[in-house]
Amino acid sequence: MRRRLATSMVGGRIAAVDLRRPDLRRPFPRRFVERLTGQMVTALERRAKYLLATLSSEETLLMHLGMSGSFRVIRDQADGRKRRNPPSDPHDHVVFHMATGRAVVFNDPRRFGIMELVPAGRLPRHPVLSKLGPEPLSADFDAAVLALACHRKKTSLKAALMDQRVVAGLGNIYASEALHVAGLSPRRLASSLATISGAPRESAHRLVSAIKRVLEDAIARLAAPGHRGAPFLVYDRAGQRCSRSECDGVIRRRVQAGRSTFFCSVCQH
């Protein structure tokens, strides 16, 4: 999503903003439209599941998709004389009209999304961002870091991977997928990744490698033109045969920490 939006927003000016309701999960910031209108978007980055748009005012527009949020870009909305409203549906809550003529539309049926304006200099101290763990695809995330974060944890391995303080932005689907690739049970103790001293066991190395592989493959598929979604190995496949050719197991579903976990009880130990 960040990559797609960057081509339409970075280096562009926000000519106008249509705000079609007073809130999403929380109320929009005061003077939201006024503070955005006329600003250049100088950068668009991602931290965990947050999109961070840096503005020429030095404020940062912090956005989270929530459970059902999405963005779409509508091209060439301007005819050279006046801005035209893009086609919409009842769940289009925010429209950023770029000076280029493109419209960036935020759609959120369940309204769990978030949009905040963070003043200059306060981003590192933001209540959410300041507590996040390492990015899973960064060089900072390796077996030693994961093992140390899980050392002496009494929670399940799946629950640990969902803890944003352990690793940022992995998500429920890809936590299940990575555990399957690594051959690790989601129900084993998180502390099993580390020795008594906190050093990484072989399982920690396998899991870090699996996390990076699963995410890189998913991003490549989602970025491809005409993608039709990811062919999941275990997620949402309860009752089906395990995808490993040498395994006769069946995918099972369990609820952990209020979220569905999918795994093979035969090849994941």
Residues 48 and 95 reside in one and the same domain: yes
Q: Is residue 245 exposed (0-12), middle (13-18) or buried (19+ Cβ within 10 Å)? A: exposed
CA atoms within 13 A on the CB side of 116: 17
| Tokens read off for 46 | 């991602």
| Tokens read off for 43 | 């950068």
Non-local (6+) Cβ contacts of 115 within 8 A are 24, 28, 29, 32, 61, 62, 63, 64, 94, 106
Q: What is the pLDDT of residues 16-30, one digit of tens each?
A: 999 999 999 999 999
Does a structural domain hold residue 238? no
Does a structural domain hold residue 173? yes
Domain tally, the chain: 2
| Tokens read off for 104 | 């960036």
Q: What is the pLDDT of residues 126-154, one digit of tens each?
A: 999 999 999 999 999 999 999 999 999 99
Residues 36 and 85 reside in one and the same domain: yes
Residues 108 and 147 reside in one and the same domain: no
Residues 93 and 123 reside in one and the same domain: yes
| Tokens read off for 246 | 């040498």
3 state DSSP class of 173: helix
Residues 147 and 124 reside in one and the same domain: no
Look up the CATH number of the domain holding residue 119: 3.20.190.10
CA atoms within 13 A on the CB side of 127: 1
What is the extent of the structural domain holding 43? 2-130
List beta partners, residue 114. Answer: 64
- Whether the pLDDT of residue 234 is over 70: the answer is yes
Does a structural domain hold residue 239? no
Does a structural domain hold residue 264? no
Reported as a pLDDT band with limits 50, 70 and 90, residue 158 is very high
- Whether the pLDDT of residue 261 is over 80: the answer is yes
